[in-house]
A and B are shown apart, each in its own frame.
Chain A
Amino acid sequence: MRDADSFDEFYRDTSARMLRYGYALTGDLAEAQDVVQEAYTRAWRHWRTVAAHPTPEGWLRLTVSRLATDRWRRLSGWRAAVRRAGPPEPVGPPSEDAVWLTAALRRLPAPVRQAVALHYLFDLPVAAISAETGAPVGTVTSRLSRGRTELAAMLTPASRTPEVKNAE
């Protein structure tokens, strides 16, 4: 049971922020729940390997980001039909600010979105993002700069009003 205990502790410690990460990448909380649960399921199957990984949480993040790829997401609706055994649907409607951010994040290319999410949600420095994503430091710096600039433009109050009307 030692494995189970250590996994449960890891799960307790990391799953909340992993769900935030999945939410930022997918833009949909229910989909994020599926992706995150699947990632932890795989982590448990290979727990000894994952636990021995230099950064188990990085292993999870990488799995989450890959599960959230476009190929997966295209078919998420079909998969959702059989997620009866999964977690319950999110409670209540999303907050307006969260909707704005997820909408803005969706407009960023996936690698930029990933870099921005790693920076803002995990406070990872450029070097760590580079190591985790396999992209050169310069590329990560460029992605973060672009992400910040485009998000700032999309999140300004002046730019919100017409898009809210369009979105609704």
Chain B
Amino acid sequence: MPNEIERSFDALSADTERGLLLSGPELRHQAARRHSRRVAVTVSAAAVLVVAAIGTGWAMAGDGQPSVLPPAASGPGTPSGSAYLGGPVTSAPVPSSAPTTTPPTTTPSSTPPTSRPPAIPKSIPARALLSDADAGISDVAPVEDPFRQLEFCSKAKFPSEDKVGVRSTVRMFYRGPESEPSSVPDDSVRNTVTVYRGDGAESYLAELRKAVQACPTGKTGDSEAEFDSLGSLGVGDESILIDRSYEARDDAGEPMNNGSRNHTYIAAIRVGDAVTLVDGQGYEGWGASRADFTKQLAGRAATRLGDWRG
């Protein structure tokens, strides 16, 4: 029934009239705004983020044509959580249900009251996580997928996962002070707050440091990444800022081959038995600068965790 198919395509073509596109000058203007911001970030801080490696940027496909990877993808290396506010909460086995062979630190019933560890809360409150009320942050949404640990290399181990008490993750977009609210985001970010049993929180920070040390390079998704510890942020009981960088690529996703790298940042801040993890995943080839990430994302996350759990 070829005629029916042709008639249907005619109908589709007519129906497309409902859709409007920007004018050519408008489109060029938008493209220029995105490009100029990208260049500015590159020049000022070498902190342009190519997100190809983590599923949020450009990549080359097939014969060299540009192809896009989606923003804020929950790809490999992307931490994600399971609960938000009143939603379902990922709870590891609670101490009261642990077998009798469980170490003393996880068995409150057998621990003297004077040394009893803080109770694991039933959920992570919204105020402990970054929110739309924080500067530059918008479109905050809960992440329902199970949490996936950060990717470094095969030498990175995170046994502290066995001590997770409760955890929640939100994702969001971030625009720096220089960006207009209507512009495309500078960064897509995931913020995970985890309360650990026993010394799990201290262990996780130690495991992160070891991971960076053991994995100067690694693979996140399909891309080779380099990791570097940038030291403490000076907030919380302890903290670490990690630089995760990829070979710089241009707008078309082609390697620039000039030695430059694009950087994303990861921050982990511990307050008592809780850790807030801020993972800047970038957005379409750029992301928050180190200064903005440190102050407005990691700093704010540390304050929120401290206000709740400090």
**Complex alpha-carbon distance, A102 and B183, angstroms:** 31
**Complex alpha-carbon distance, A75 and B72, angstroms:** 8
**Complex alpha-carbon distance, A120 and B6, angstroms:** 7
**Complex alpha-carbon distance, A17 and B70, angstroms:** 25
Interface flags, B1-37, vs A, CB<8A=1, else 0: 1101111110111111011111011011011001100
Of B60-68, B123-131, B260-268, the one touching chain A = B60-68
Q: Which of B34, B70, B72 has the most CB of A within 10 A?
A: B70
With beta carbons under 8 angstroms apart, the residue of B9, B19, B25 that contacts A32 is B19
Known A-B contacts A7-B28, A82-B173; A45 and B5 likewise in contact (beta carbons under 8 Å): no
Q: Chain A residues near B68: list those with CB within 8 A.
A: 38, 66-67, 72
With beta carbons under 8 angstroms apart, the residue of A8, A16, A42, A71 that contacts B25 is A8
Q: Is B71 close to A, CB under 8 A?
A: yes
Question: Closest approach, in angstroms, between the C-beta of B175 and any C-beta of chain A?
Answer: 10
Q: Is A126 close to B, CB under 8 A?
A: no
Q: Is A88 close to B, CB under 8 A?
A: yes
Q: Chain B residues near A45: list those with CB within 8 A.
A: 31, 35, 251-252
**Complex alpha-carbon distance, A11 and B26, angstroms:** 11
Q: Is B73 close to A, CB under 8 A?
A: yes
Q: Chain A residues near B138: list those with CB within 8 A.
A: 82
Q: Which of A88-133 contact B (CB under 8 A)?
A: 88, 90-92, 94-95, 97-98, 100-102, 104, 120-121
Q: How many A-B residue pairs have CB under 8 A?
A: 156
Q: Which of A23, A79, A82, A152 has the most CB of B within 10 A?
A: A82
Known A-B contacts A29-B16, A33-B20; A101 and B30 likewise in contact (beta carbons under 8 Å): no
Interface flags, A53-97, vs B, CB<8A=1, else 0: 000000100110011010110111011011011111011101101
Q: Is the CB of A87 within 8 A of B185?
A: no
Q: Chain A residues near B5: list those with CB within 8 A.
A: 120, 148, 151-152, 155
Interface flags, B121-156, vs A, CB<8A=1, else 0: 000000000000000001101000000000000000
**Complex alpha-carbon distance, A82 and B185, angstroms:** 8
**Complex alpha-carbon distance, A8 and B21, angstroms:** 13
**Complex alpha-carbon distance, A41 and B26, angstroms:** 10
Known A-B contacts A42-B252, A86-B22, A87-B22; A24 and B184 likewise in contact (beta carbons under 8 Å): no
Q: Is the CB of B251 within 8 A of A42?
A: yes
Q: Is A12 close to B, CB under 8 A?
A: yes
Known A-B contacts A20-B12, A152-B4; A44 and B18 likewise in contact (beta carbons under 8 Å): no
Q: Is A134 close to B, CB under 8 A?
A: yes
Known A-B contacts A75-B70, A87-B22, A120-B6; A44 and B31 likewise in contact (beta carbons under 8 Å): yes
Q: Which of A23, A74, A104, A148 has the most CB of B within 10 A?
A: A23
Q: Is the CB of B8 within 8 A of A88?
A: no
Which residue from chain A places its CB closest to the CB of B6 in the assembled complex?
A120
Known A69-B67, A86-B22; further 15 A-B contacts with Cβ < 8 A: A4-B24, A16-B16, A33-B20, A37-B21, A63-B65, A63-B67, A72-B70, A76-B70, A78-B72, A82-B185, A91-B20, A104-B8, A120-B5, A148-B5, A151-B5
